[in-house]
Structure 1
């Protein structure tokens, strides 16, 4: 469930900072009843950025396949990696 707070709560920086650090999701800040800002702790930001990077890579891979790129057998790739790096 999204966390929504009015912009006036940003006046208490210590409290909002603590609140943001304890949540694992973005905080939506409203002004005059409308979305205005999104506040999040560093861990949430890093997680979202990592997800975005993964989605970009997946989209690029799907585009390559759509363009006719050669598909590799996953088990064969893992076998080669294990042979190269052990385990």
Structure 2
């Protein structure tokens, strides 16, 4: 984890390089306290994809716990009927 003081944000080229090389967020501080997080777009997109996947897994677990499930044959039958397969 890299920590950079707010005044260093003026050097955007260096901050961008740090983000790309570190492959992790850069934490920006002001007066010694965290204020901002800067990250490479690829890192951001990977992180958001992981969050979305985790939400889908949690939804599946919730459905299972609530009994909102069907067996495989029934699921395939419904898919075929819906899509005319």
Shorter-chain TM-score: which interval? 0.7 to 0.9
42-51 vs 12-21, which moves further? 12-21
Consecutive unaligned residues of structure 1, counting only runs of 5 or more, are: 78-87
Cα deviation 1:43-77 (Å, max 9, x = unaligned): 1001100110011101111110111122657xxx9
Aligned pair count reads: 73
- 1:6 paired with 2:5, answer yes
Find the structure with the greater CA-based Rg.
2
TM-score by length of 1: 0.75
| Cα RMSD after superposing both structures | 1.7
TM-score by length of 2: 0.76
Give runs of aligned pairs for residues 1-87 of structure 1, distance below 5 A.
2-70=1-69
